[in-house]
Amino acid sequence: MTKRYYFFIHYTPVQADNELLAGRCISQVHLFMVNNRQAMNKIGVSFPDWSEATVGQTIAFVAEDKEMMIGLSFQPYFSLMVNEGLFEISSVFEVPDNAIEVRFTRNQTIGKSFLGSKKRRIKRSMARAQLLDAGTLLPVTNEERIVDSFHRIPITSGSSGEDYILFVQKEFVSERVAANFNSYGLATNQERKGTVPELRV
C-alpha cells in the first residue's frame, strides 16, 4: 500500500486538559479538511499516549500525502500554541511499514446512553406524535447498553458555535484499511472504517 506520513503535537503543560486540547486540535483538522477538498476524509487522527484514563498528552495526524501533512502542521493555531510554549510539534515522518494498525472511532451511540439524551429523544418523539401536553409525564426509559471504554472530547462547531462531545473509542485491527475518515479524522460505526498506525512517540 501507499506510504503514509505523520506528525505529532505534544501538549507541554503538566496539568493540561488533554481532552480539551485534543478537541481544539481536531477542530483545526476539521477546518483544514473543509477548506481543502482534496484533504477531505484523507487525514486520520491517532492518540499515541491513549490509556484507560486519558487520550494522552500527544495527538498525531496521518495521511498518504506528505505535502498535506506539512501544510496541516503549519496551521496558524498550531503555530500560536507553539509560540506560547503550550505545544511542541514534530517534523513530518514516514510511518514505519511494520506499524500496528488501530482504529479510533467516533461512537455517538454512547451519548444516547446518558439520561439527558434519552429525555431529549423521548420529548422529540412525543412532540412529533403531538402527545406532549403540559401535564404529560415522560415515560421511564428502560434501555441497557454495555459500552467499552471511551473518552469524551469536547468540540465547538465553527459554523454554529454549539458545543458538543465526540465519544471516541480505540480498537486494534488486524490489517490496514485505506484512509476513509469522517471530517474529524475519525472512523465511524458505519461507513468510515479507516485505520491509523499505533504510534509511540
**pLDDT tens series, the chain, 201 aa:** 799 999 999 999 988 899 999 999 999 999 999 999 999 999 999 999 999 999 999 999 999 999 999 999 999 999 999 999 999 999 999 999 899 999 999 998 877 655 454 555 556 665 656 555 555 555 554 444 444 689 999 998 776 778 889 999 999 999 999 999 999 999 998 889 999 999 986
The gap between the terminal CA atoms of the chain, to the nearest Å, is 23
Domains and CATH numbers, the chain: 5-103+173-197 (3.30.70.2540)
Q: What is the pLDDT of residue 143?
A: 46
Q: What is the pLDDT of residue 102?
A: 96
User: pTM of the prediction?
Assistant: 0.82
**Residue of 9, 175, 44 whose CA lies nearest to 99:** 175
Say how far apart CA 129 and CA 147 lie, in whole Å: 31
Say how far apart CA 129 and CA 126 lie, in whole Å: 5
Q: What is the pLDDT of residue 147?
A: 42
Q: What is the pLDDT of residue 139?
A: 52
Helix, strand or coil, per DSSP, at residue 125:
helix
Buried b (16+ CB within 10 A) or exposed e, 164-186: ebbbbbbeeeeebbebebbbbbb
Say how far apart CA 161 and CA 25 lie, in whole Å: 16
